[in-house]
Amino acid sequence: MLTLGIRYLTGYTVASESSDRDCPEWPPHPRRVFMALAAAYFQNGSAPEEKGILEWIEGMSAPQISAAPTDKLAPRSPVTHYVPVNDKTGPATSQIGSFPELTRERQPRTFAKAWLGQDTVFFVWPDATPTPEQKTILRHLCEKVTRIGHSTSLVQMWLETSSAKITPNWIPDEIAPTHQWRGTTTGTLNYLDQQYNEASIDDYWNTVLKIEELELAPKNKEVKKQASVLKSDLKQRFPTGSPLRQRPDLAVWHGYRAFTENLNTPRLSDTHFDHRLIVLALRPRKSSYRALDVISTLQITSRLRDALIKHANGHMPERLSGHKENGQFSEEPHLGFLPLPFCDHAHADGHLLGIALTLPKKAPDTERQTLLRLLAQVSRDGLHLGALGDWGIESEKSSIPPINLQPTTWTAHPNGASQWGTVTPIVLDQHPKNKDTAVYQREVARSIGESCTRIGLPTPVQVIVSHVSNHLGIPPSHDFPLLRRKDGSKQRHTHALLIFDQPVIGPIFLGAGRYRGYGLCRPLH
């Protein structure tokens, strides 16, 4: 086992989330920790034995992480700082910048900062077995690390020897991750070296200095000839001037989920479906619309399902297709499509941020992997939605996604919720025909209660039927297109509020249109 310990000496982390510069990154991503080790290596002589250690670490699988829970952080309000821009020079416009060395423009920058409370983090590779020699080299390399993130994010780093006392609370999970964090792969160290481009930059400026020395030397034919040759060589090797030092862009992500199993916690009621949602962000590629409304749910989920079946080439398991081999509808729980609109916010307007997919809990990991492979192919091609244009779907990569793209927002896992309201209307399995309004609503409520038991939930103690949703930003039920039967007849639908006598865990989607995105419920707090 290999374990690295990191202590934040000031009790603060100063590092920005890649998708939101005002949001602190926590826990530190594996890539950020590796880059701190790489910086210590490059800045202290680039010893060959240290290079070997880093190349060994970069090829490892994603580590387990023990860190303070994200909900225990105390973020500080971002403060704007004005810092010099390295690649811009010119005459200063302010009095304080009248000196020649103070001619760089200053641009606003923010540095996300958060108080940790628990200042120590551990990265654990359970399957790694370093040799005594490797331990010695890694111990010396860790001692050279002074910061992780911003220069004010001071740390102490060491090789931990008492790993048995450490309990990771974040574990890698590529099958059903809840978070995506940046990582490393084989070749990362060489890539960082290329981007830093130290050798080429030093070569360029050393040549420039030689030319200046020759031009300042006493003039003679030999000196002029040497200067001319160096100038010609410099122009040939560096036609655009000084080579650039570029910021690395590593597109390697590892899936993670919180490890929160507690055998002493009583089990809550849940559905037949997995709470580990596969969340896909929805973004326009070629469309006259900036966003799609939640009322277009049926069109989007139908096209996504068709695209998955197309890429499966007819070899799609029953739990994914929803059909038996003979073409009949499956009677068992199967793949569900859940729209994720922007709702429950003062400015919510119901536009779709993404789509989530959920499989039955009985589905083996092989079927989930098949689904992920098919989704990767659909993501490459995009969704073609006719008059709505072409749209891209891609895995949400933010380590802290928007609230409405976080699976727990829709599943209430692990604590559950006792009140749930519909986001898309429930298509009634049975159509009451009683003309008395009160009796009609009681029959609709009873039908919805039976729908709950079909997906493994207890019967709600109360079901309140309404034309409007309890969630801000969601349109009334009559704005949603009606679902049609095979014979072309229309099926009624309605919004509802479900109240259980105990907390339950989702995802909850009910009614005849549940596998196509209708009947989706969200917890009410």
What is the DSSP annotation of 195-237? Answer: HHTHHHHHHHHHHHHHHHHHHHSPP-HHHHHHHHHHHHHHHHH
Q: Which of 297, 265, 333 is closest to 426 using CA atoms?
A: 297
What CATH number has the domain bearing residue 162?
3.30.70
Can you give the length of the chain in residues?
A: 525
Element (H, E) at 42: helix 30-43
Please, are residues 378 and 282 in contact by the beta-carbon 8 Å criterion? no
Average of per-residue pLDDT across 16-30? 79
Structural domains of the chain, count: 3
Please, are residues 420 and 270 in contact by the beta-carbon 8 Å criterion? no
Q: What is the pLDDT of residue 5?
A: 93
Domain-located, residue 243: no
> Could you read off the pLDDT of 53-70 as tens digits, one per residue?
999 999 898 999 999 887
**Cα–Cα distance measured from residue 143 to residue 12, given in angstroms and rounded to the nearest whole number:** 20
**Cα–Cα distance measured from residue 134 to residue 52, given in angstroms and rounded to the nearest whole number:** 9
At how many degrees (to 10) do helices 132-143 and 30-43 cross? 80
Domain-located, residue 330: yes
Domain-located, residue 242: no
Q: What is the pLDDT of residue 400?
A: 66
Identify the domain boundary among 210, 229, 256: 256
Please, are residues 15 and 110 in contact by the beta-carbon 8 Å criterion? no
Q: Classify the C-alpha dihedral 477-481-483-484 as positive or negative.
A: positive
Q: Are residues 319 and 209 in the same domain?
A: no
Q: Out of 143-152, 365-374, 460-469, which region has the weakest mean confidence (pLDDT)? A: 365-374
**Cα–Cα distance measured from residue 279 to residue 400, given in angstroms and rounded to the nearest whole number:** 13
Q: ω into residue 27 within 30 of 0, thus cis?
A: yes
Q: Are residues 320 and 358 in the same domain?
A: yes
**% of the chain surpassing 90 pLDDT:** 42
Does the structure show a pLDDT above 80 at 75? no
Element (H, E) at 463: strand 462-466
Q: Are residues 463 and 387 in the same domain?
A: yes
Q: How confident is the model at residue 20 (pLDDT cuts 50, 70, 90)?
A: low
Please, are residues 280 and 308 in contact by the beta-carbon 8 Å criterion? no
Q: Are residues 355 and 446 in the same domain?
A: yes
Which token pair is 466?
Answer: 């309404």
CA dihedral 40, 43, 49, 53 (to 10 degrees): 30
Give the other-Cβ count within 10 Å of 479's Cβ.
13
Identify the domain boundary among 222, 256, 290: 256
Please list the residues that pair with 115 across neighbouring strands: 12, 74
Give the other-Cβ count within 10 Å of 11's Cβ.
13
Does the structure show a pLDDT above 60 at 470? yes
Q: How confident is the model at residue 262 (pLDDT cuts 50, 70, 90)?
A: very low
Where is mean pLDDT largest: 72-86, 175-189, 314-328, 508-522?
508-522
Does the structure show a pLDDT above 70 at 403? yes
What domain range is 89 assigned to? 2-192+249-256
Q: Are residues 108 and 123 in the same domain?
A: yes
Q: Are residues 55 and 151 in the same domain?
A: yes
Which token pair is 227?
Answer: 């200067």
DSSP state of 9: T
Q: Are residues 150 and 217 in the same domain?
A: no
Q: Are residues 125 and 73 in the same domain?
A: yes
Q: Which of 399, 299, 387 is closest to 339 using CA atoms?
A: 299
- CA angle, 446 as apex, 440 and 450 as ends, to 5°? 145
Does the structure show a pLDDT above 90 at 422? yes
Question: Which residues lie below 8 Å from residue 331, measured CB to CB, with a gap of 6+?
Answer: none
Q: How confident is the model at residue 425 (pLDDT cuts 50, 70, 90)?
A: very high
Q: Which of 115, 109, 116 is closest to 79 using CA atoms?
A: 109
DSSP state of 270: E
Domain-located, residue 338: yes
Q: What is the pLDDT of residue 313?
A: 83
Q: Out of 71-75, 184-188, 404-408, 520-524, which region has the weakest mean confidence (pLDDT)? A: 71-75
Q: Are residues 267 and 175 in the same domain?
A: no
Domain-located, residue 498: yes
Q: What is the pLDDT of residue 245?
A: 64
As a whole number, the mean pLDDT across the chain is 85
Domain-located, residue 425: yes
Please, are residues 321 and 381 in contact by the beta-carbon 8 Å criterion? no
Please, are residues 423 and 343 in contact by the beta-carbon 8 Å criterion? yes
Q: What is the pLDDT of residue 8?
A: 93
Average of per-residue pLDDT across 117-141? 91
Q: Are residues 211 and 281 in the same domain?
A: no
**Cα–Cα distance measured from residue 416 to residue 240, given in angstroms and rounded to the nearest whole number:** 60
Please, are residues 57 and 34 in contact by the beta-carbon 8 Å criterion? yes
**Cα–Cα distance measured from residue 519 to residue 495, given in angstroms and rounded to the nearest whole number:** 8
Does the structure show a pLDDT above 60 at 194? yes
DSSP state of 242: S
Q: Are residues 219 and 301 in the same domain?
A: no
> How far from 319 is each of 89, 177, 373, CA to CA, in Å?
62, 20, 15
Which token pair is 428?
Answer: 């009634």
Does the structure show a pLDDT above 90 at 463? yes
Helix or strand or coil: residue 182? strand
Average of per-residue pLDDT across 166-185? 82
Element (H, E) at 253: strand 253-258
Q: Are residues 202 and 188 in the same domain?
A: no
Does the structure show a pLDDT above 80 at 253? no
> Could you read off the pLDDT of 263-281 as tens digits, one per residue?
344 467 889 998 888 899 9
Average of per-residue pLDDT across 159-186? 81
Domain-located, residue 244: no
Which token pair is 4?
Answer: 């690295």
**Cα–Cα distance measured from residue 377 to residue 308, given in angstroms and rounded to the nearest whole number:** 8
Q: How confident is the model at residue 292 (pLDDT cuts 50, 70, 90)?
A: very high
Domain-located, residue 15: yes
